Structure 1
Amino acid sequence: MTVAHTNTETISTRASRGGSQKRKNLSVLGLVAPGVIGLFVSFLLPLAVMIRMSLNTNGEGGRLIQTLSAGAYADALADPFYWKVIGNTLLLGLVCGVAAVALSYPIALFLTRTTSRWKGVLMALAIAPLLTSAVARTFGWMSLLGDQGVVNAALMNSGLISAPLRLSNNMLGVAIALVEILMPYAILAMISGFGRISISLEEAAGSLGASKLQVFARVTLPLSLPGVFTGFLLVFVLAVSSFVTPKLLGGGRVFILATEVYNEATQTLNWPLASALSVILLVVFGALVAVYQRLIKRFEE
């Protein structure tokens, strides 16, 4: 009688736990479902449509021919011009990533360490440029870097140069503008990653006789590298996918994947090739993210 009663209680307890777990799973599913649906509608579905479009072919007069062909990819990868475009895109992302991280690192480290009562104000000032449209900031850089712009006028008036420097309508001007535009993103990314830096470790290294330079090189910098990699990744991705700044400040002379996708889609009406270039750009993103993940795992071991 006692054994039967005990078995009944055990079964009842298990059923109660099973019901509770089922309700918990349903609650989690209810919380996750809106995000999954939003991700599907806003990203996965357009991505699938883009990939399908890249497998079509382009007929006369921009007529779209529904088929399954890798011709657009073959055209893109067989043309030396598009290899140059891919190279320009990677170079722009690399230069902007390195420059933005190098310039933002001291600012991010200072904002992380400071105990000033003005820390909140300084943080707001660091990210304040994000409140201004990238279009407006690009036009500002056009007026600064143009042949008759502020920079060239100041250099010529001071006698340092006799002819205007070419600071616009080329890759140099685009890189300068993008570095300034993307620095706030690098600062935010590195501040979030600098939480691993332990002041006690730095103090311990200093008490053992290490100089400030040695403490920075052997303690601070290695511990801050995950944040640095995150900042670089974010700037790189935003730089290689940028369109407004290369289009306006490049003056039609800077060719990267984003501008070529726009040209193929709106001017030549070659949607399959534009989609193929978009997929190639996405592959570049994926390769960089994979490298980033390996680096993060290596430094976390």
Structure 2
Amino acid sequence: MRRAARLQLLLGLPAVALIFVFMILPITNMVEMSFRTPGVTEPFGNDYTLMHYGRVLGDPYYWGALGRSLLVATTVTVLCLIVSYPVAWHLSKADGLKMVILYALIASPLMTGVLVRNFGWMIIAALNGPLNQSLLGLGLIDRPLRLLFTQGLVVLALVHVFMPFMVLPINNAIRNISPSLVEAAASMGASRSATFRDIVLPLSFPGIQAGVTLVFVLAIAAYVTPALLGGQMVTYMPTQIIAELTGTFRWPLGSTLAIGLSLTTLLVVAVFTLATWRLLDRVRA
């Protein structure tokens, strides 16, 4: 092996070690834990069983939690895409101080602690909070709306925090579009809407695909926001997993639910990737 090859191998070893210790080992342990029998005085027993998978697959309660998580993640992803594309478009055209300010505003949700951010939403959405008081003052409602502990508030809060993960990939893709293509379309008589539909939108699809995948994965696995803003009335899969692991200490069942959520997420992402693969190939070509 040449010296350069050995050097590259040594430089890659820390990354491989981190992936092995913090990703492969925990996942392997989680899979092994899902087959453990329930414990009597401990979180798990010494034997192995398939009972947890049978219980999860046969219980409508867990299917309902998974369905709500999928619905929320899909809604958050779609809303993020609708809101983020215009923002990414304007960001791609900005430069200098304006660009810095826009970047700071877009990244601002990530600069606030998750608890502080969610408690801020709780204050805003309370019965006597600023939002209800503003609506009452404008005469749009006759009595305060119950916004707190609703699925709508969970979706709104998740869109708020995950928007940067949609804006930045789309912004990067739009910036990589050659201005000469837009100028050529304009010189041939294409309208601005036609140029956007036939050139800008298809060429920005790599950023859309990356943003959609990233936001969906983050949204379906979100725990703190649904737990705080969703309350106890509606159960999502991540909150149910944490309840089993830390509330009832049924580690095998919690691991089974976590594997089910992970496999569902991988399936959805794989289907989306395959469905958009041809369009991505046409853009690259």
Scaled to the shorter chain, the TM-score interval is over 0.9
Q: Which residue number corresponds to residue 173 of structure 1?
A: 153
Deviations 1:49-96 (A, max 9, x none): 111000112144665222222211111111001111110011111011
1:53–1:271 contact (8 Å) kept in structure 2: yes
Query: SS of the residue aligned with 2:249?
Result: coil
What residue in structure 2 maps to residue 250 of structure 1? 230
1:268 Cα shift?
Answer: 2.0
1:58 partner SS: coil
Aligned partners of 1:142, 1:116: CA distance in 2, in Å?
Answer: 36
User: Residues 189 and 66 (structure 1 numbering): CA distance in 2 closer, same or farther, change over 3 Å?
Assistant: farther
Q: Distance in 1 between matches of 2:39 and 2:98?
A: 62
Is 1:219 the counterpart of 2:196 in the alignment? no
2:239 is aligned with 1:273: no
Q: Deviations over 1:111-170 (max 9, x none)?
A: 112245432232222212211112111111111112222111111222211122232211
CA distance in 2, matches of 1:186, 1:107: 10
- Return the alpha-carbon distance in structure 1 between the equivalents of residues 43 and 239 of structure 2: 22
| Contact 2:84–2:167 (Cα < 8 Å) also in 1 | yes
Unaligned runs of 5+ in 2: none
Does the 8 A contact of 1:187 with 1:231 survive in 2?
yes
Structure 1 residues without counterparts, runs of 5 or longer: 1-20
1:32 alignment counterpart: 12
Q: How many corresponding residue pairs?
A: 281
- Pairing partner for 2:87 from 107, 125, 128: 107
- Measured in 2, the distance between the counterparts of 1:61 and 1:262 equals 20
Name the larger-Rg structure. 1
CA RMSD of aligned residues (A): 1.7
CA distance, structure 2, for counterparts of residue 29 and residue 172 of structure 1: 49
Spell out the pairing of 1:67-82 with structure 2 (5 A cutoff): 67-82=47-62
Equivalent residue number for residue 188 of structure 1: 168
SS of equivalent to 2:2: helix
1:222 deviates by 1.1
**What are the within-5 Å matches in structure 2 for residues 134-145 of structure 1?**
134-145=114-125
Corresponding letter in the other structure for 2:281: E
- C-alpha distance in structure 1 between counterparts of 2:192 and 2:153, whole Å: 36
> CA–CA distance in 2 between the matches of 1:295 and 1:63?
42
Comparing 179-188 with 29-38, greater Cα deviation is found at: 179-188
Q: What is the aligned-residue identity percentage?
A: 37
DSSP-derived class of the 1:64 partner: coil
2:189 paired residue number: 209
